[in-house]
Structure formats: C-alpha cells, structure tokens
Structure 1
C-alpha cells in the first residue's frame, strides 16, 4: 500500500521546523546606569556613563541613555556615580596550594580539591575574575568553573612546574633516589604539583604531559627559590639545551614557556633559549632589565614581604635576599617601560583577601591608575600569549570596551586615586560580575 502525503503538509512541517531553528536564544542583559568607567588603560575615570551588557559581552557604552533591546530580560543597576572597572587578574597564583604546607604534605587529594574549590570561590568574591595558575592540578577545577558547576575565576593553567633534580620544585627527601635511578615519585609529583626531570628527553615528556592535560602555557624553574629545600635564588638550573627543549615543545603547540628565575645568569640563559616570560626577577640589575626590554620579554613579578611562618631559618634568609632586590627592579622596570605583569605568587595562605592587600601596596612604586592597568589590561595581554591554546577568545579580557567580556566590578569610590579601596572588597566591591553573570550585588 502506498502512503499519500499532501504537498501542503510537507511545506507546513518544513516551515514550522525552520521557525523552531530560527528562534534566537532569549537574551539576558544588565544595564549599568550613571557609572564612571575605568576602562583598563586610562589614568582617569570617564564622565557619567551607561554600560549595557548582553549575555556575556559588553554591548554598548554611551553617555546617552541606552535602550534595552526588545525581548530581553534585563537587570538595571543604578550606579550612583560609582566606578565600573574590569575584574582584577592575578598573573601568578597557585589555587591548589593555598592550604598550609602540613595539610598539603598529608596528600589527601579529596580535601585538597575541596580547598581549591573554596579558594577559587573566595578569589572571585574578592574581585579576581581571571588568574594564571603557575603550578598545580587545576584542570578539573577550571573545567568545573567554565561549565558553571562551581564558582571561581577564569583559569589559565600551567599544570606541573617542571624542575630539575635538586631544583626549586624538588621536594624529595635528601637521600631519596631520583626516579631515573630507580627512586619513587616525590610528593610534589604524586600530587601533580611538579615534574622532576633531567635531560632533554625528560623535559620534552614533562612539557608534552602538561600540554596533553590542557596547559595554556608551560612553567620551568630555571633558578633556585625561597620555598624549596635544596637551593637558593642565586642557583642556576637547567642547561640551555634543556630549556630549549621545553620552548620547542611549547612552540609546536602554539604557546610559550614562562620561567621561575630570580638571578641574572638564569634569566639571560632562559631568554637566549627562547623563553618569553620571566617570573619574579627580584635579583636582576638594570642592564638585565634593559636586556629584557630589548628582547621584548615580559617580566611577571610580585611585591613580596618578609615573614616567618611557615618558613625555616634558611627559607627566611632567602626571602630576605629577594625582598631586598624588589624595589630596584620595580623602579628600573617602570623607568625602562618594559612589559610588566603582576601576580601574588599566592600559596600557603588560606585567607584569600591577601591578594587585594598586596595589590593595594603597589602604591609604593606606582600610581594607583598604573597599578590597576597592570592587573587588568596588561595582565590580559600576557595571557593572550597562549595563542591558539587561549580558552577565552569570544571577547577581550581586562578592559571595559564594547565587545569585551563582561567581567566587571562596581566599586565605591575612585580606586584610580585611592588604591586602598581594593584592599577591602567585602565593603567596597558592590557588584561583582563575571562572564555577564552577577555573583554579588549589595546595592
């Protein structure tokens, strides 16, 4: 028996199906009225302005009233002349390492994952909408944040810090045999905090391991450090060929290598091997700062302070060395206008507001507006070096511009004049928005 389907019925089905596919997703908007904007680059705030966010992007910025698009569900926020600015970013943090050292060494992964999730939420609720994580297993946390399963900032993950035997990330017991000699995984390797490797082949493997997991950039330790047990900030680590191996593997995937390095020789060796970003650098001299400028290299640095707990006397001595050098490095970096990024190197400190406090102290070396530009627009330029591995390319980060991501803070007062405002986010950050979603609104 033949089935008979009338032509008009077919047309009706096709037409109705096309209507279903043609219906746009409902849009959600937020309209900020009467705000003064710090756009991430200017030294002064704008006159009273209105800013329309549609879905997760900034749609319109205008001194004139803005009409909410028809058919859009909108929230209107009366800014009352407050400051609207980009969310803050931290170019060097460790979300997974914020518990105390004793808690980390217990190796309870479930507990450490829970602590990392709580830290991520705390960061966002203190105004930090993007971070570059520079050692730690944060790939699942990043995925959960991006999918909305948990709350936190955007994350640019590095995965494990790649270090040599007896290097900055080697927390093995002194008498423990290295893995290449038949020894066990160190505690840092067991927890996926570090990869202890030697020789070109092992560096390639460790780099590719991080890339396989989703690293947006690679981190090597090419000098000693403060927290590490077996070296000092003056030690040089990894040969030029080992560093080149990491650079080659990262470049093959379209991204870059950033190195933990304090001293002159380690920095120059790293740059000559193709490294694009120096982390720390507090023991550099002015000629080396000028060298970084001439080579178009980023310096991602911090303002460290001396403290005792939980450090040993040896670590306290090393911290003193680093702190004594940082004022000159900031001065020379600003005088020579090098590419300067900033982070906290936030770890072993469960109180998340320390990031805000450290940012407020940058007024020792620069104007508040310059400090804010560094932790918004400038850091975002560094993050973009990850090229095709950049997970956030729908809009710009670190700016208040049409087409940029709606990662925004509505702030009491003018932080471009008074940087102390950022030190108390609970009081002064009245609205916190990330990706067009409001996570805090106390107006």
Structure 2
C-alpha cells in the first residue's frame, strides 16, 4: 500500500460517472483541491485539501464499498504527494487535429436511441448543419457531422464536448475529422443531406454509410477527458419517449428520481433475492436487493435509474406472485446500504439493460399469460421446454421456433400469475449448458 497522501487514486470510473459524481462522494470528508479524470483508463486522481481529510476518506471506504450510479469504485492513496495539472495539456491535445467543419462524434453510454433528427437538434444551434452520416463501430455509435463553415464546427466542439444528450447518459466525445466533404447518397434514418432534400430514401442493397466504415481506424479516436453535463433541451421524459418509439406509456411521466422500491405482501416461504431480481430486472438494471428480516414479506429493490423504478412500480403494482398480490411503491430510502444481508447485482451480466437497452424498454409491460424464452440450446425440443416449466402452472400452448438462427420459444399459461412464477423461477436457469432468458410476451395467442 502507498504511503498516505493527499492524492487519491480511484479505479473503475466508468464513462457514466461524472466529475460531480466523484465530488459528491468525497466532499463530506473535506474540500477537494484538484480533480483529473483519466477517461481512457477509467480512472481518476483527486487531491484533498489536507492529509487528515484524505486519511478519513480512505479509512471510511476501507470498511464500506463506495458505489456511484450502481458501479463499484475503488480508492487508494496515490504514489504522488501533489497533483500537478498542466492547463495547456488540453489545448495541445485539441491541436492534434486541425480544426475542421466536419466533426467525428462518438456516443458513450448510449442508453437511448440517437437518431439523425436528435443529432441535428443538438448540433444545429451552433451553425448550419449540411450533412450527417451515422454508423456503428467497435468504438461505439458514431456520426460524422458537416457544418457549412469551419467556425461553426469549432464552436460546436467547444460547446458540446463531454456533454450528455440525455440526463446521465449518451455522452458526446467530439473530434475534428480530416475529411473535406461528406458524401451522402440517401436521406433516411442513418444519413441526411440537408442541402439536398430530394435524395431517395431506399438503399437498394447499398450502405448509406459508404466511405465511412473505417472511420474509427482512420482517426484512432479514444475517449477524451470529458466533463459530464446535460444538454438543456432534453430530459428523461424525452429519452423514455424515444425509447418507447415516440410516446411515453400511459401513467409514466419520466421525471422520477427515486431509485429504491419497497415491495410488500410477498410470500416469505417462496421468495428470495434472485427471484425478485429476475422479475424487476425486466424494467431496468438492478443495483441491490434486500429482504427485510424483521418484516419477512417486505423487500427493498434499488434500481440504476429513477425512470426504471418508475416503470417497475407502474407495471408491477398489484401483480400476483406465489398466491399474494404484491404492493409495489417507492421507498423513502434513496438507496440500499451495502451489508451482509443485501445482495449486490450491480456487476451482474444478467442485468438486461447492459446491452440492447432500447429494445428492452420497448418490451416493458405488465405481466402477461405468455412468456418468451431465448438463448436456448440449438438441439432443444418442445418437450424439453414443457418439462422445464410445467411445474409452474397449466400450459395452454407452446411453440418452439427459430429466429436469426437461434432457437426461441413461446409458452402460454392459463393465467398471469403462473407465467410470472415461471419467469421468476426459471429466468437465468440452465438447459443443457445454456443459460436461458425469459421475458413476458405481449402476443395474445400462439
């Protein structure tokens, strides 16, 4: 372990974690003199005002696991006794690429869809946007944006670098491109020429992104040392509306910031943390679950975002599970304190919204009589499916099918409670070595 120092080294600092998040975590222990985000390494260095503040901080978090936005972060004394920052470093980095009217934009932590229209709304206040081309690369979702003038490109990069399109996500990493002109062949959901609205929309087996497929390799882009912010014209309500295809579900306003849910009237003989995780993870990523030992039919569930907990409360309130009608409400507690009797799911790869978040939001619904089973073994049979779930209720119908070369199944139960029981008991279970995934289907019949 390094000698005590005013400088603290913090690891596992994801792109979703902002400077302000770190400051809120450490400022109760004293004033922070300096903070440097090492985005390319998912790390940060911060300097406390004095050594006693740093000692108190490290001593406290030696016994308590610090967590930000559902992600565990790790702290230790740095080998540096003083943190020196070079105010000209960013300027030198900015000069690595010559200022240009064409910007290469990478979207980090993209929880919601970013369309050509959204990009135009974000970038057009800084100048006339002539063309936009979007594409998917290993670095993430990217776009090339061409302004009418170089001055507009410089102004947009200065104003928007490191900002979030939506509150808490979709962070903009902006570099100057070395291209001189974008070629747009089609006006559609992936590319747009605002100077030529008469372009066709059909691609006819050609990519509208021709010529830009190797953009990441061409420019060698890595995440910049960005500062999180919020683009003021968009909020959670707009984000959720975009995820649901343009409109919020009835009863959802998208502005809730309470992440922890209190669930009561559970069946204490049959419920456990994993079963609650399996059900509530349909509506968002789960951070922690805690069964209340002094009230065995009560549980607390902390979700990653307030709008996810709002979806869970909306869709699950009054649902039947194990012969009980669940009461689902927001808790007065802002989070669940890590402890021996709480289960941490923040790093679980079973959290459904780690990938394909937009698609998962669109599948959110109240419990139905039908479940959809995916990631099945390729040699599975319909009898295998029936044997796996029949203990949970009366099966009305089943269907095994193949989509995109992968086996999937639909199972229709007699009622919603039986389907819910099958989901909470068999989601993430194993069939012939494959971990299966189960969700509710909104189909009425098979």
**TM-score (structure 1 length as normaliser):** 0.21
Q: More strand per residue: 1 or 2?
A: 2
Q: Which has the higher helix share?
A: 1
